[in-house]
């Protein structure tokens, strides 16, 4: 094992000492790699022992090791420690590697950190004066113009004046849930299951919501018409492509029919298309394309394809809702931060976004293909699954007598993480035998192994 010698540092402040020690650890490892004292595959000292040697906090060592990981100099092995990149001279059990199907954020290895950093720096120069004063509630006019151009590639044709920049599409949804609509109706129809945050927006306001089940075959359009006809539905909320959590994508024929029903019964549609950028079907249109007049309110987020922490999204609003939405947006946060808006404007205008999306489509399509094949190979006949086309979301429905929470618990012991989907249902439609999977942050080579362990555990619980 590598030994690092610590040298006392005198005549410095506490902060300087910690920073110096943090950098000193990194420098020593670099030196010992260069002179051959540290060989590929060799194990580094434990975090605790190194903190004792240097007389510093564990966080200082963690920070140093994290920086070395970012440089791809070292890597961690769960329950074993840190090793120098370059070989596999250590022995470990592959079954002990954690496979995380529960995290549904973007693939961290394919995020444009450096490109976006350049855009942020440019935005600081471009908008340095605007950052010291309040901005427009609906967003920078220059960004809204760029968004209008970018949306055309998704077959969403809307002027910049109808586009609102929001702090993630969830902010737009939360505002729209509370706003009165021109049709004067108050109930909401939503897909079941759907993502946690939308459930929370409805539940926290004690609104009356009607659910419609999403299966591997989509929704029952006859049932949807019955709901529209018999209930005072304000709007139908739908994730039209790669639905969360089922992964289902509507066909153009289904989308057109849903829009026709909405027109017939004076119902609005909120089309949440935050995964639309990943659609590889060239002729796939959003519902908005079938009625751009305002019947379909289009929302989109950049969280799943850029950096979630930026909290940026957009909504295309009908003229009749712009004033009330603007007031609600102003009351919520005055406006979305200028710096992140400016960076997105530059990122879109430069063409970086288009190139980034092209790469992501290939990555997630491949992940989806691997996942679907693994489902067919390893899942027992007693379960059914949905989705997997994008590699982002899919569900597995267990036999009715099995609880998802039990499977989640037992899989964790096998180092596989999955999401219990129980909280993605309204209380009156709740199912407790559904789990959600996402392979967005799982390495391609680990997907099949994770599904194999999952399948084995389901069989064991069935027995």
Tell me what percent of the residues of the chain surpass a pLDDT of 90: 57
Residue 444 has pLDDT above 80, yes or no: yes
- Residue 7's pLDDT is 46
> What band does 123 get if pLDDT is binned at 50, 70 and 90?
confident
Q: Give the CATH number of domain 14-92; options: 3.40.50.11540, 1.10.10.10, 2.40.50.100, 3.40.50.1220.
A: 1.10.10.10
Classify domain 113-354 by CATH number.
3.40.640.10
Residues 187, 189, 192: CA angle, nearest 5 degrees:
140
Note the pLDDT tens digit of each residue in 235-284: 999 999 999 999 999 999 999 999 999 999 999 999 999 888 888 888 89
> What band does 125 get if pLDDT is binned at 50, 70 and 90?
confident
- Residue 460's pLDDT is 94
Q: Tell how far CA 425 is from the center of its chain.
A: 19
> What band does 11 get if pLDDT is binned at 50, 70 and 90?
very low
Q: Comparing 43 with 369, which gets the higher pLDDT?
A: 369
Q: Comparing 409 with 463, which gets the higher pLDDT?
A: 409
- Residue 27's pLDDT is 82
What is the Cα–Cα distance from 276 to 250, expressed in whole angstroms? 11
DSSP assignment of 109-168 equals GG--HHHHHHHHHHHHHHTTTGGGS---TT--HHHHHHHHHHHHTTT----GGGEEEESS
Q: Lowest-confidence range among 69-78, 139-148, 154-163, 262-271?
A: 69-78
Note the pLDDT tens digit of each residue in 181-238: 999 999 999 999 999 999 999 999 999 999 999 999 999 999 999 999 999 999 999 9
Specify whether the CB–CB gap between 265 and 233 falls below 8 A.
yes
DSSP summary character for residue 193: S
Residue 1 has pLDDT above 70, yes or no: no
Specify whether the CB–CB gap between 333 and 172 falls below 8 A.
no
Q: Compute CA distances 91 → 42, 94, 136, 359, 437, whole Å.
A: 11, 9, 58, 35, 30
> What band does 427 get if pLDDT is binned at 50, 70 and 90?
very high
Rounded mean pLDDT, 390-419 = 93
Residue 77 has pLDDT above 90, yes or no: no
Specify whether the CB–CB gap between 195 and 223 falls below 8 A.
no
Q: What is the mean pLDDT of the chain?
A: 88
Specify whether the CB–CB gap between 190 and 425 falls below 8 A.
no
Note the pLDDT tens digit of each residue in 344-397: 999 999 888 988 898 888 888 999 999 999 999 999 999 999 987 766 899 999
Rounded mean pLDDT, 137-145 = 93
Q: What SS3 state is found at 353?
A: helix
DSSP assignment of 340-370 equals HHHHHHHHHHTTHHHHHHHHHHHHHHHHHHH
Name the CATH architecture for the domain at 99-110+359-462.
Answer: Alpha-Beta Complex (3.90)
Specify whether the CB–CB gap between 101 and 419 falls below 8 A.
yes
- Residue 87's pLDDT is 43
Here the tokens at position 219 are 């929704």
Here the tokens at position 451 are 């599904």
Query: 363-374 burial by CB neighbour count: b if 16+ within 10 A, else e?
Result: bbbebbebbbeb
- Residue 326's pLDDT is 95
- Residue 107's pLDDT is 73
Q: What is the residue extent of each domain of the chain?
A: 14-92, 99-110+359-462, 113-354
CA-wise closest residue to 341 among 105, 175, 136, 173:
136
The predicted model scores a pTM of: 0.78
CA-wise closest residue to 25 among 12, 10, 1, 6:
6
């Amino acid at each position: 094992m590598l030994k690092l010698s610590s040298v006392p540092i005198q005549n410095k402040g506490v902060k300087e000492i910690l920073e110096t020690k943090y950098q000193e650890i990194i420098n020593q490892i670099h030196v010992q790699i260069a002179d051959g004292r540290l060989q590929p595959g060799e194990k580094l000292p434990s975090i605790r022992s190194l903190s004792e040697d240097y007389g510093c906090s564990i966080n200082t060592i963690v920070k140093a090791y994290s920086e070395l990981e970012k440089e791809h100099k070292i890597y961690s092995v769960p329950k074993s420690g840190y090793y120098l990149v370059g070989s596999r001279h250590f022995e470990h059990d592959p079954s002990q590697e954690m496979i995380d199907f529960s995290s549904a954020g973007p693939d961290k290895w394919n995020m444009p950190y450096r490109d976006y950093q350049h855009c942020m720096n440019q935005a600081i120069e471009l908008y340095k004066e605007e950052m010291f004063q309040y901005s427009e509630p609906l967003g920078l006019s220059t960004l809204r113009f760029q968004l209008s151009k970018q949306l055309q590639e998704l077959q969403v044709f809307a002027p910049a004046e109808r586009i609102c920049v929001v702090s993630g599409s969830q902010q737009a949804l939360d505002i729209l849930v509370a706003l009165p609509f021109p049709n004067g109706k108050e109930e909401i129809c939503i897909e079941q299951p759907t993502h946690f945050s939308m459930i929370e927006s409805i539940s926290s306001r004690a609104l009356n919501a009607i659910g419609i089940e999403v299966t591997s075959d989509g929704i029952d359009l006859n049932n949807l018409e019955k709901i529209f006809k018999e209930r005072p539905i304000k709007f139908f909320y739908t994730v039209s492509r790669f639905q969360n959590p089922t992964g289902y994508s509507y066909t153009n024929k289904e989308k057109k029919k849903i829009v026709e029903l909405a027109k017939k019964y004076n119902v609005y549609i909120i089309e949440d298309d935050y995964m639309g950028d990943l659609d590889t079907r060239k002729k796939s249109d959003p519902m908005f394309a079938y009625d751009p007049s305002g019947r379909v309110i289009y929302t989109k987020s950049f969280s799943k394809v850029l950096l979630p922490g930026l909290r940026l999204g957009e909504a295309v609003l009908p003229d009749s809702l712009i004033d009330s939405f603007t007031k609600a947006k102003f009351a919520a946060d005055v406006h979305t931060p200028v710096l992140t808006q400016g960076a997105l404007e530059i990122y879109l205008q430069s063409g970086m976004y288009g190139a980034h999306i092209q790469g992501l489509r290939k990555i997630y399509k491949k992940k989806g293909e691997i996942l679907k094949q693994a489902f067919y190979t390893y899942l027992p006949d007693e379960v059914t699954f949905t989705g997997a086309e994008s590699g982002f979301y899919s569900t597995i429905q267990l036999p009715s007598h099995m609880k998802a929470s039990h499977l989640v618990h037992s899989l964790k012991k096998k180092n596989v993480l999955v999401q219990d989907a129980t909280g993605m249902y309204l209380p009156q439609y709740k199912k407790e035998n559904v789990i959600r999977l996402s392979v967005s942050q799982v390495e391609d080579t680990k997907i099949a192994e994770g599904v194999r362990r999952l399948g084995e555990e389901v069989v064991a619980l069935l027995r």
